[in-house]
A and B are shown apart, each in its own frame.
Chain A
Amino acid sequence: MTLPPEGDPVGLLGRVRDAFRLRWKRRRTLWRSLRSRHQLESVADRTGAIRPDQILGFTTLRNEIDRLPCFLEHNRKLGVSHFLIVDNGSDDGSAAWLAAQPDVSLWSTRASYKASRYGVDWLTWLQIRYGHGHWCLTVDADELLLIPHWPDRTLVDLAAWLDARGETAFGALMLDLYPEGTLAETSHQPGDNPLETLHYFDAAPYRARRKPFEWSLWVQGGVRDRFFFADSPRRAPTLNKLPFIRWNRRFAYRNSTHSILPRHLNLAYDGPGGDRASGVLLHTKFLPSVVERSVIEKARREHFGTPGQFDAYYDAIAANPSLWNEKSLAFRDWRQLEELGLMARGAWR
């Protein structure tokens, strides 16, 4: 087991105080989530079909019709049996398309994404209600999970292996993929597999540290760090996630799926370079549509704690840059990523 970070109190009193504060923090979070259920309106409820031991997928999305067919297909192959999706006011037909899928239960809301802690409150409620005791995969629509041995082995195999070892969480690094030319120039058509357009990634550098008190990991780096945040590296996006967890209704994601309470679950992932089994979330954000989207998102101000500070980031994307350079690597398979130290098989041989 990984040791907790330095800087935590050693004395009994300090530990008790920390435990108490964290417990109430978690309860407050759960309470928010419980309240947020009133914002959700059921569109298609097929949750009656959920059987025990099935793997469930949880997603919040807005206007993702381009990615959805591939997203669902990938996750079905991965072993997700049922999807519980919150649609945050899409107007591109995502909702209607999803509602027609046989393994999707859909809720919709027009409430603020930011006010619900970037969708986490909604999903936490659904996880309390439906996810208890299940292995739950919580990902965004632009993230495709890659696990060791894929496609020879699936999440079902992984879940059983983790169960046998008594582990409850599985971590992954978010790896930004980008195209070869400028972002908007690629010949991507809506519905195409994003991985056919986005080939390239930054193999390094990634830096990780563990925060005291909440024990959450903080990994930054990669292409967005290099290209958009070279002058303010502190603000670069967090790249570690805990997407796959055997859920308990007392759990609560804190900051998107980057960190979770109770805090010991955060120790399940060591970040890139780690040698326990971990995966990679292939981040397909940089499809051509991202250019116009960033203009919209800049105006909506629904992302980031202090949206004003990220205007430059949105402007830089809207300028349609090319993220590629001759040191970029082309994505091949999980073995390549393991060789680079970005994911690991660990003891799952």
Chain B
Amino acid sequence: MTVGFVMLVHTALERAAQVARHWAESGCPVVIHADAKVPDGDFQAFCDSLGDLENVAFSARRQRCEWGTWGIVGATIEASERMLADHPSLSHVYLASGSCLPLRPVPELVAYLAERPRTDFIESVTIEDVGWSKGGFDHERFSLRFPFSFKRQRFFFDRFVDLQRRFGTVRKLPEGLVPHLGSQWWCLSRRTLEAVLRDPRRSEYDRYFRQVWIPDESYFQSLARLHSVRIESRSLTLSKFDFQGKPHTFYDDHLQLLRRSDCFVARKIWPRAERLYSSLLSNDPRVTKNAEPSPGKIDRLFAKASDLRVRGRSGLYMQSRFPRSDRSAGPYSVFEGFDSLFENFESWLGKVTGCRVHGHLYNPSRVEFSGGEKTYNGCLSDSARLRDYNPCGFLTGLLWNTRGERQCFMFGPADNQYPQVFMAGDPNAQISVITGAWAIGLYRTNITSEVVRKEAARLQRIEHAHVELLRERWTKAQIRIWTLAEFIEAPMDNLQEILDEISLNGPRRLTEAPRLMDLSGFGQFLQQLKNDGMNLHMAGDFPVGHTPAPLNPTARPYLVK
């Protein structure tokens, strides 16, 4: 009772010989099929290097094993027949490739199989239920014909597939056959393998599978279903594919990972991975673990990697994903008008929320980083020209480089308006606007009414367009808009509402109120503008004689939900 290895080799013959020798010396017979493409000289040297081992045999006929074609199955069948004929005492046959490497001692594998003498380890999944293959054909593997080489005659391959699709030709399956797919690398019990190879209808199946796409992933997988008494639908060989269906290669630095997987065999191993070969090719009983193979550990790691590869990291920009631009690395808050309405709003906000609060990042003359810094995290420069060269990239760069800390900044109609579309469409943005509040700033400067009027008209036009944009239906940001008159009615409640969303320690009652700017005479100022012919409607209906009372958070009971 032992296991025999059928090996398909085409490159890195020295490594294949090393592994074959390991198996043979551990008492497992090996039958090797070498691809017809291997030069005769190399093949002869390969045979000679294993000449001293009597339980290593070579397939008499070397077939051309092109990817996706029948050759691989043909070679496997021939080698398996030889194996069964030469070694009548085998209980299992294991199909391996030249780039496979045993991860656990051979006696462990033999014992594992001896406990399960009638079980076939072959991944076998019906195409009805799950999309097993990664990209490429699925059902069509079985319903179309593939007479042309994928690698050498791609043009004809593609055109012929198109043609068949257009005419809707569908091949008839051999009766009773249910197509299954699965990993190419299996370990079948002698009973099942014999039943497959001696099936009276085998020539019919062979004829059918000769024209199936990648038959090595479906021939034994489908036929075993007809003959096996007990299928364990998993492969004992660990082999990982990336999202493009290309096999992962294992290198020296994967040693610990491979050990932890507890699988019996892994592929593909990079032939120059000296450390893997030297440390895993041993039958040292001390590494015996008697554990059930658990590729899940590796699966999770690779799934994460492939996720990263396919979807990238949120907020990290790359050229090939342009023009997609609705993502930023983390939540942030934009305050518009607040710094005009409150004194020292920025330092107050920083104290209350614990977030990083910047001034007007899009100030046309210079970037107002928090604390007046000249360069910020990630060496972002405060140069307005550099920022305006790529305004959205500036914001995403800032957010990427300050991951883990919420950023708040001021914004207003006097700033560079370019990033407004990005922010409105960004689900990470929280935008709070007090429209018309910028007029307080104008009111406090003592300039002639003519200049003020022009400037007010300009800013109002900009803000009007901005608010229109924020009210579009497609926006994804958290948007709150008040007119100045509305906001001033219940400033603390409105502030509390915003801060509840961003405070790091959950909702908290405000204990310290920011100080309102002195607004006495502001109503007068608005009326004056109106008299001059400029209606500042963005500020709302601000009463002429209105002077708001100073804010006092304790005077107003605020209910915490």
Residues in chain A within 8 A of chain B (CB atoms)? 2-3, 6, 149, 152-153, 156-157, 160-161, 164-165, 202-205, 207-210, 217, 219, 222-223, 225-226, 230-234, 267, 270-276, 325, 327-328, 341, 345-347, 349
Contact = CB atoms under 8 A, between A and B. Distances in A.
A174 to B, nearest CB: 15
A4 to B, nearest CB: 10
A6 B319 CA distance: 12
A231 B385 contact: yes
* Residue with the highest number of chain A CB atoms closer than 10 Å, among B272, B318, B393, B394: B318
B390 A207 contact: yes
17 contacts: A3-B320, A160-B272, A205-B390, A208-B317, A208-B318, A223-B379, A233-B386, A270-B318, A273-B316, A275-B310, A275-B318, A327-B377, A347-B243, A347-B244, A347-B246, A347-B309, A349-B302
B320 A2 contact: yes
A327 B373 CA distance: 10
Contact of B320 (A223, A270, A347): A270
B260 to A, nearest CB: 15
Contact of B379 (A203, A275, A341): A203
B397 A204 contact: yes
Given A205-B378, A223-B379, A347-B309, A341 B320 contact: no
A243 to B, nearest CB: 18
B242 interface: yes
Contacts of A165: 246
Nearest to A205: B397
Given A152-B252, A153-B252, 8 more contacts: A6-B323, A164-B246, A164-B249, A226-B379, A275-B309, A327-B375, A327-B377, A349-B305
Contacts of B277: none
Contacts of A202: 378-379
Q: Which of B246, B272, B319, B383 has the most CB of A within 10 A?
A: B319
B308 A230 contact: no
B241 to A, nearest CB: 10
Contacts of A272: 318
A-B interface, 10 closest residue pairs, ranked by CB to CB distance from nearest? A204-B378, A273-B318, A202-B379, A205-B397, A230-B383, A208-B319, A233-B389, A2-B320, A270-B320, A274-B318
Interface of B: 242-244, 246, 248-249, 251-254, 270, 272, 302, 305-306, 308-310, 312-313, 316-320, 322-323, 374-381, 383, 385-386, 389-390, 393-394, 397, 400-401
B270 A157 contact: yes
A325 B251 contact: no
Contact of B319 (A203, A209, A230, A328): A209
A153 B253 contact: yes
A324 B498 CA distance: 38
B184 to A, nearest CB: 17
B251 to A, nearest CB: 6
B319 A349 contact: no
A207 to B, nearest CB: 5
Among B246, B248, B306, B309, chain A packs the most CB atoms within 10 A around the CB of B309
Contacts of B248: 347, 349
B319 A205 contact: no
A160 B249 CA distance: 10
Name which of B252, B253, B389 has the most chain A CB atoms within 10 A of its CB. Answer: B389
Nearest to A203: B378
Contacts of B253: 149, 152-153
A160 B385 contact: no
Contacts of A345: 305
A153 B272 CA distance: 10
Contact of A226 (B272, B302, B309, B381): B381
A3 B321 CA distance: 9
B251 A152 contact: yes
B133 to A, nearest CB: 17
A270 B305 contact: no
A207 B10 CA distance: 45
Nearest to B383: A230
A230 B309 contact: no
A149 B253 CA distance: 8
A310 to B, nearest CB: 17
Contacts of B305: 345, 347, 349
Nearest to A240: B319
A165 B244 CA distance: 10
B272 A205 contact: no
Given A205-B397, A208-B319, A347-B242, A230 B378 contact: no
Contacts of B377: 327
B309 A204 contact: no
Contacts of B302: 349
Contacts of B376: 327
A275 B319 contact: no
Contacts of B400: 204, 341
